[in-house]
A = this chain, B = another copy of it.
Amino acid sequence: MKLGFVGLGNMGSAIARNLIKAGHQVTVYNRTRSKAEALRPEGATVAETPAEAASTGLVFTMLADDSAVEQVAFGDKGIIGALPRDGVHISLSTIGAGFSGRLAQSHRDAGQRYAASPVFGRPDSAASAKLTIVIAGDDQAIERARPLLDAIGQKTFILGSEASSANVVKINGNFLLANMIEAFGEIFAVLGKYGIDPKQFLEIVNGNLFRSPVMQNYGNIIADERFDPAGFKLKLGLKDVKLAIAAAEDVNMPFPMASLLRERFLMAVAQGKGEKDWSAVSTVSKL
């Protein structure tokens, strides 16, 4: 089928490529055009504007933050102006729950259909179509997106008709990862003072207790201090922690651990580590 794809960073490019591979006619748009051109040999049509990608009738967006999505959605030559009646917008980006809800309303007001569908996974999972996907929002948007999501991920969870629910789950999933990273950072710093090898701690506590591959992986990265190149940039980690705080605040809820994480990520950014992998927040604990 014909569809549009806006946002061709590491994640977006890998996902768009899988949609092309699956036989779809994909019209791609990216602000820095070269990244769009890179997909032309694989069969993509390169659009001049987000509007052009949206005019296909179904458009994905995969962008860095609320403000980037706001621009391609509401801006001049943007998606909302170009998407036909009953057209579908699937937002794959990790954006705020509040903003996602407002976006849903704007699409409804324009007679369009919107679903939030953030993904779990790093670029390599995106490349191998092994993302875990959550989706919520307009029923028909979900229905039309389902077969497409099957081409880019290994599993999709449907979370109901409130689009922001998908964002809340994604944001809190990321918070749980950030929390684990910070916990390892604080623990390993103490172990270091006692001359205890953090890898042995990991072997004992994760190998026999938690048994989580993700914990093992992050634990090793932190123990080895492998923070470059960034799999997920620390400054984006800060953004996500702030989204978690905001999502809680929107429902009048404190979120003490997220507040603590915000402080730590900010300190890391102040120490010039914003471009490193977010697991580098662990270094704030080293004294």
Contact = CB atoms under 8 A, between A and B. Distances in A.
Interface of A: 97, 120, 132, 134, 155, 157, 159, 162, 164-165, 168-169, 172-173, 175-177, 179, 182-183, 186-187, 189-191, 193-196, 200-201, 203-205, 208-215, 247-249, 251-260, 262-264, 266-267, 269-271, 285, 287
A135 to B, nearest CB: 11
Given A155-B208, A169-B204, 13 more contacts: A159-B196, A173-B204, A173-B209, A176-B210, A186-B255, A190-B248, A194-B251, A252-B270, A253-B266, A254-B264, A257-B260, A259-B259, A259-B260
Nearest to A252: B270
A253 B168 contact: no
A209 B132 contact: yes
A246 to B, nearest CB: 10
Most buried by B among A200, A209, A254, A257: A254
Contacts of A132: 204, 208-209
A201 B187 contact: no
A172 B157 contact: no
A201 B214 contact: no
B173 A205 contact: yes
A214 B180 CA distance: 14
Nearest to A262: B259
A249 B251 CA distance: 22
A206 B35 CA distance: 34
A278 B211 CA distance: 21
B258 A186 contact: yes
Contacts of A179: 179, 183
Contact of A183 (B169, B251, B254, B257): B257
A71 B108 CA distance: 25
A284 B263 CA distance: 13
Contacts of A271: 287
Nearest to A164: B194
